[in-house]
Chain A
Amino acid sequence: GAVVSQHPSWVICKSGTSVKIECRSLDFQATTMFWYRQFPKQSLMLMATSNEGSKATYEQGVEKDKFLINHASLTLSTLTVTSAHPEDSSFYICSARDRFGNEQFFGPGTRLTVL
C-alpha cells in the first residue's frame, strides 16, 4: 500500500506554545488529506478534511483558529496546534487519499503531550 509519514512521531511542549505536525505522502499525490485525533481508549475523531490548494473543512466542534491546517502541495499537509494546552494532549493521525482511490492511507501518528 501507499506510504504516509508523519513528523514528529512524538512531541512534548509547554502550555501556550504552538506545535506543527507534518503529514507527507511519499509515493503518491494526495489530493485529500484528513486529520484525526484519538484520546486514550476512544475512537479516532475526524478533525478536518483538507484538499490541496483550498481551505480545510472542519468538523463541528473543532476550532479552526486553534488547529491550523495547510495543504499547500500534493504531498504535504501540516497541522499546527496553536497555544497548546494540556487538554490538547492526544494522538494526532493523518491520512491521505489520491483522486482515484477510496482507501485512506494512514500516517503513523504523532503523540502530543502538553505540560
Chain B
Amino acid sequence: RKEVEQDPGPFNVPEGATVAFNCTYSNSASQSFFWYRQDCRKEPKLLMSVYSSGNEDGRFTAQLNRASQYISLLIRDSKLSDSATYLCVVIPAGGYNKLIFGAGTRLAVHP
C-alpha cells in the first residue's frame, strides 16, 4: 500500500465550480500534512498546511481527519489559473522533515 494515496483525476470543471480533493495516508503516527501545487514541468509549491481544526485561505479550505487518516482540499469558485496538479504531502512520525508525496490529482478548469 502506498504511504499517501490520491485520486489521480483528472478533474475537469468549469470556472466557478467547487471541487474537492481527497487523500489518505497509511501511517497513523504521521505528524504534519500539507497540500502542494505543481504546474506542468515545474517544482511543487506549498499551497497550505493542514490542521485537525481545519484551515482556510481564501477560496481554499483544508481539513484533516486523523481518525480516518484522511486529508481534504476544497477549492471554491475555481479559476482558470487553478489548473494544476495538487499534491498531498505527509511528514511521517520521526520523519525529520522528510516529505512523502502523493502522486497528485490533476485539475483542469475550463471556461
Which A residues contact B (CB, under 8 angstroms)? 32, 34, 36, 41-46, 49, 91, 93, 95, 97, 102-104, 106-109, 111
Contacts and interface: CB of A to CB of B under 8 A. Distances in A.
A13 B45 CA distance: 28
B103 A42 contact: yes
B62 interface: no
B98 A109 contact: no
Contacts, number: 43
Interface in B85-111: 87, 96-104
A44 B44 contact: yes
Chief secondary structure at chain A's binding surface: strand
Contact of B101 (A44, A91, A97): A44
B20 to A, nearest CB: 20
B97 A109 contact: no
Contact of A97 (B42, B97, B102, B103): B97
Nearest to A91: B41
Contacts of A111: 41
23 contacts: A34-B98, A34-B99, A42-B103, A43-B4, A43-B101, A43-B102, A43-B103, A44-B44, A44-B99, A44-B101, A45-B101, A46-B98, A49-B98, A91-B41, A93-B43, A102-B32, A102-B97, A104-B97, A107-B43, A108-B43, A109-B41, A109-B42, A109-B43
A45 B42 CA distance: 15
